[in-house]
Amino acid sequence: MPEFFSRSHFEAAVATIREETQLQPRIGLILGSGLNPLADAVEDDVAIPYSAIPHFPIVTVEGHVGRLIVGWLEGQAVVVMQGRAHYYEGYSMAEVTFPVRVMQVLGIEILIVTNAAGGLNPEFHAGDVMLITDHINLIGMGGLNPLRGPNLAEFGPRFPDMSEAYDAQLRTLAKQIAVGANVPLREGVYVCLAGPSFETPADLRFLRLIGADAVGMSTVPEVIVARHGGTRVLGLSGISNVPPVEAIPSVETTHEEVLEAGRMLIPRLGTIIRGVLKAL
Ligand code: HPA
């Protein structure tokens, strides 16, 4: 596995996908923990296991299926990632974000990213959906930026702007869809940590202080690569749990809880995503 990928690696993956389908997807969709069933609604689809695509990271976490679905959803040609790879699984940032480059070479214009996240904002409850307005790249500030390495100038500049990582027009659209469909929609800042251990109460108080509303272990690297390549981004977090900022005896955060809440969140997230696709 090379330390950094180049165009030829992405093109090898695209060639494999093109052998299965000639459909030209306009929109990419990454489905996070417990949210993989959202892909079941895709029509006329082909499903390609990640293991069959050169250089694609294979997912190892429960709740992530590990298939690329290409087909139609609400009248849009889509490419859907049923599960994603995370840094904590042992992948490099280049590997974690490899699929985003592949989707860009496939020709997507818009990337919709979803995740399961812990709620930090005291107003949030498990089961809420949060529109991501901005992120804190805490994992990247220490050096784990997916753009580290030779700049791929054919995708974007060495020092890409991140002043509006989450597209303002797409956010407005998502809010309109949520209001119209009577789905309560929160808004806030997502912070990405490396994981896999969950946060201590002191970690959580720190994350609140620095301005985060939700915490998770994904999304930010993918969004940075998407923006570097000029792809517009819509981000949605499913608040799967609200970890306690003061230790409460016998209250623990578990992956099972995250997956269980994911199932609850599927109808709400599905309504917003389908509404946005229909309107685009
Ligand atoms: N912390 C970090 N990541 C998460 C959480 C959490 O509480 N819930 C879902 N992903």
Please report, for the domain that includes residue 258, its CATH number: 3.40.50.1580
Structural domain count of the chain: 1
Q: Which mutation among 199, 213, 215 tests ligand 1's pocket best, with the greatest number of atoms within 8 A of CB?
A: 215
C-beta of 207 in contact with ligand 1 (< 6 A): no
Please identify which residue in the block is written with the tokens 């180049």: 6
Asked if residue 66 has its Cβ within 6 Å of ligand 1, the reply is no
Q: How many residues does this entry show for the chain?
A: 280
Residue 2 placed within a domain: no
Q: In the prediction, which pLDDT does 40 show? A: 87
Assess contact for 54 and 105: CB atoms under 8 A: no
Residue 219 included in any domain: yes
- The pLDDT, as a whole number, for residue 63 is 66
HSE, side-chain direction, 13 A CA sphere, residue 213: 20
CB-neighbour burial class of residue 8 (10 A; exposed 0-12, middle 13-18, buried 19+):
exposed
For residue 1, tell me if it sits in a domain: no
Predicted local confidence at residue 246, as pLDDT: 86
* Within a domain: 165: yes
- Ligand 1 centre to CA of 160 (Å) is 28
Alpha helices (runs of H) in the chain, residue ranges in sequence order: 7-20, 93-96, 98-106, 138-141, 168-180, 201-209, 220-228, 255-279
Catalytic residue numbers read: 33, 64, 86, 88-89, 116, 217-218, 241, 255
Contact call for residues 181 and 271 (beta carbons, < 8 A): yes
Q: Domain residues for 185?
A: 7-279
Ligand 1 site, residue 240, Cβ cutoff 6 A? yes
258 in ligand 1 pocket by Cβ < 6 Å?
yes
Token pair of 186, please?
């929160």
Specify whether the CB–CB gap between 44 and 72 falls below 8 A: yes
48 vs 130: CA distance, rounded Å: 30
Question: Token pair of 259, please?
Answer: 């997956």
166 falls within a domain? yes
Write down the pTM of the prediction: 0.95
Return the beta strands (E) in 26-106 as ranges.
27-31, 43-49, 67-73, 76-82
**Regions of the chain short of the pLDDT cut 50:** none
